[in-house]
Amino acid sequence: MKTSIATVAAVALLLTAGVASAQAQRGPRADANNDGRISRAEFVDGRIQRLQQLDANRDGQIAVEERQAARQARRAQAADRRFERLDADKNGQISRAEFDAARAQRGERRAERAGERGPGMGRHRGRRHGGHMGAQGQARGPLSIADAQTRLGQRFDQLDANKDGFLTQDERRAGRAGREGRRAASPQAPASR
């Protein structure tokens, strides 16, 4: 599928505005009513809303270009936030003193987190699993929002161990532990870099 540069730029502009708006609102919370449980609607609808925000042309699918534009917008916003954190005196420049102070704070936070995790508990360095990527990290094509909604419903049913229609913190923890166990047991494709 050929895409013009103007189309990609338009999608990037729309997504930048959409992602900025979503981040300002902080998006829907998984537990919207703060009752300590997540209903099926809360689980599925919140995630679908985030996908719909990525669907710039509103065709019900998230194209490769839409995902790439959203990723670029997130990276640009993250860079802006990092710069603002480093620029302590808010003069639009980062001095050596500001840089060194931020670096020292990062080192202190890392040491604290390492102490909290305990021995042998390293930081996860893998990719986030929100992308629609193939085994070698290549995009597989458009992601259908309707298919994602179906899969999310199935995932909710798997996680809802007691079948009461709600996910508790314990059920979510068990689901994460099971997913991490499956990931550790599955053979990893060699990274091509």
Residue 72 has pLDDT above 90, yes or no: yes
Residue 122 has a pLDDT of 54
Lowest mean pLDDT among 64-73, 168-177, 179-188: 179-188
pLDDT tens for each residue of 128-178: 444 444 544 555 689 999 999 999 999 999 999 999 999 998 998 998 888
Question: With left for phi above 0 and alpha for psi between -120 and 50, is residue 30 left, alpha or beta?
Answer: alpha
| 139 beta partners | 133
pLDDT confidence of 117, banded at 50, 70, 90? confident
Give the separation between CA 154 and CA 83, rounded to whole angstroms: 41
Residue 20 has a pLDDT of 42
The stretch 47-63 carries a mean pLDDT of 92
If one compares 62 and 15, the residue with the highest pLDDT of the two is 62
If one compares 187 and 110, the residue with the highest pLDDT of the two is 110
Return the residue matching tokens 């199935």: 154
Residue 26 has a pLDDT of 42
If one compares 45 and 180, the residue with the highest pLDDT of the two is 45
When the pLDDT of each residue in the chain is averaged and rounded to a whole number, the result is 78
Residue 90 has pLDDT above 60, yes or no: yes
> Dihedral sign, CA of 31, 35, 40, 42?
negative
The closest of 121, 101, 103 to 113, measured between CA atoms, is 121
Q: CA-CA distances (angstroms) from residue 67 to 15, 95, 192?
A: 9, 35, 21
Question: Considering the entire predicted model, what is its pTM?
Answer: 0.55
Residue 13 has a pLDDT of 47
pLDDT tens for each residue of 10-38: 444 444 444 444 443 344 567 778 888 89
User: What is the full DSSP assignment across 17-38?
Assistant: HHHHHHHHHT---SSTT-SS-E
Residue 186 has pLDDT above 90, yes or no: no
User: What is the full DSSP assignment across 76-128?
Assistant: HHHHHHHHHHH-TT-SSS--HHHHHHHHHHHHHHHHHHHHHH-TT-PPP-SPP
